[in-house]
Structure 1
Amino acid sequence: MAHTAMSGTGTTESDDPLQTAVWRLRSRGCWSDAAALLAPRAERPDVAVQRASLLIERCLYTEEGWADAEDALRSAEAVARSDDDRGAAACERGYLAYAATLHGVRDRADEARAALGRAAALLGPAAPGRPLLDFRRGLLAQYLADSPQAARAAYRRAHAGATAHNDTLLLSFTWRHLAGLALRDGELAEARHGFAESLRLREELGYLVGTAPALAALADAEPEPEATRLRAEAQRLFRLLGGVPTWLAAQLAPRPAV
């Protein structure tokens, strides 16, 4: 399974020491601690959305913290001032509803579609948040609507946008999900390339919490003995992070001998 997504840029190039500290915590799966650092500045719409996105990502990876994420998202919606602010908050609203549906907390698929549609109406084609929105619309198409063709088109738009905005973390996700669709279609060479690019970008960024899923995804496209080596490395990181992301456990479970 390769259904997680991200929020925010993931960049560590900012001179802002607060953002550097937030990224270091987020990349190690310490979302609550990262959100706490942002709380004193959460009256700013962009910071409020970032804080909500961290707590929503925690829900995706741990299947916990739903109430905290909802509270943070409502706060972000309350302080939004511009269309970009409202669009970013709507994008997070759709992502939280998607996460709840995906993990079986509650079926909020209609809410997810409506919120992402609202975000699309508010965010212009050149808005910085548009590539992330396109990516999340791809997730809905693939995992809630079972429409791989629509998902591929959305992922490609997101990939192009992430490239234009130099959003390296989002690129790691678009590479991975496009590779997953290629693997589904039996395009092994294309799948290996995409999974390898995703892993490379995450290792360069130091996105530790996302490295085990990237290793496991690449393992699915590699022959033995490389596949076993990659899964063993993914398992080591998975244990190091306390079993996060939770959904990776099934993918890393021992496989019966053939």
Structure 2
Amino acid sequence: MRNAGLPEPRGPQGADPQGEDPLERAVWRLRSRACWDDAAALLAPRAAAEPGPALLRTAVLTERCMFTGDGWGAAEDALRAAEALAADDEERGGAACERGHLAYASTLLGVRDRADEARSALGRAAALLAPGSPTRPLLHFRRGLIAQHLSDNPSDATAAFERAHAGATAQGQRLLLSFTWRHVAAMAEHEGRFAEARYGFGESLRIREELGYLVGIAPALASLAAVIDDPGEAARLRREAARLVRLLGGVPGWLAEQLAPPAPPED
């Protein structure tokens, strides 16, 4: 993967997640700064009647759940609305992919065990989406997450992440690429291949900085710090990650806990 090229930006479904539509750009600015409720509110009028905005609104609210551990009811309501609007296999497959991700998130964060629902929904998405669908790379990625975190199957996870990475590269989906680099790197770290892990985490961080995905930069910094050889540089990266978490009001919550300074010893 080291030589995988990144295509030039090419619109809403391409390398620039902001898109060309003013609404999409406004949603991206809010989403990237952890203002998910505001982003969802902007999308609400069009999401009431259009499958695309309805699916994006679901994704925004599910992302909020992943980063904050809160907002599950709103995400579920948005998902049901998107499912009701889906009119063809691509839209139904996209909605099934979002259902799988929401069920995965609920299971991963210990809210409710929905692992079977997650697997079933992603299987349904695989049956509905055409081989060349722009949603296929995301589907591969999410199946990799289940293999990695719910099934404890590193080989299947790595294969799924690599398929997702190849598809995201071919379609210029740079935000997804930042996630595939991150998880391929995590698998390399797990297997003790630290040079590959450093490269992958570095690529993930670079892409997020270029896109201005502020809410995702702190996790990328912390992951890179964990595999850096230089203790001073690792400490600097963790300090920067902690600064960004404070800037965003303690988001993501799980990282805020990891980066919190140790409590002083009791007398």
Mark yes or no: TM-score above 0.5. yes
Mark the runs of 5 or more structure 2 residues left unpaired by the alignment: 1-12
**CA distance in 2 between partners of 1:150 and 1:251 (Å):** 28
Q: Residue deviations 1:2-27, cap 9 Å, x none? A: xxxxxx87834532111110000000
Q: Residue deviations 1:93-143, cap 9 Å, x none? A: 000000110111100000000000000000112100000000000000000
**CA distance in 2 between partners of 1:136 and 1:41 (Å):** 26
1:1-258 matches, within 5 Å, as: 11-12=16-17, 14-42=19-47, 43-223=49-229, 224-254=231-261
Amino acid at match of 2:28: W
Tell whether the 8 Å contact from 2:58 to 2:79 is kept in structure 1 after alignment: yes
Runs of 4+ with >4 A deviation? none
CA RMSD of aligned residues (A): 1.5
Identity of aligned residues (%): 66
Tell whether the 8 Å contact from 2:14 to 2:171 is kept in structure 1 after alignment: no
Q: Tell which structure's C-alpha radius of gyration is larger.
A: 2
Amino acid at match of 1:252: L
Amino acid at match of 2:102: L
Tell whether the 8 Å contact from 1:209 to 1:241 is kept in structure 2 after alignment: yes
Q: Residue deviations 1:6-54, cap 9 Å, x none? A: xx87834532111110000000011111111111111111111111110
TM-score (norm 2): 0.90
Residue 9 to residue 247, structure 1, CA distance change in 2 (3 Å): farther
**CA distance in 1 between partners of 2:25 and 2:137 (Å):** 22
How far 1:198 moved relative to its partner?
A: 0.3
**CA distance in 2 between partners of 1:85 and 1:11 (Å):** 21
**CA distance in 2 between partners of 1:57 and 1:117 (Å):** 21
**CA distance in 2 between partners of 1:141 and 1:234 (Å):** 28
Amino acid at match of 1:242: G
Q: Residue deviations 1:55-110, cap 9 Å, x none? A: 01100001111000000000000010000000000000000000110111100000
**CA distance in 2 between partners of 1:135 and 1:255 (Å):** 35
**CA distance in 2 between partners of 1:136 and 1:121 (Å):** 15
Amino acid at match of 2:35: C
Aligned to 1:4: none
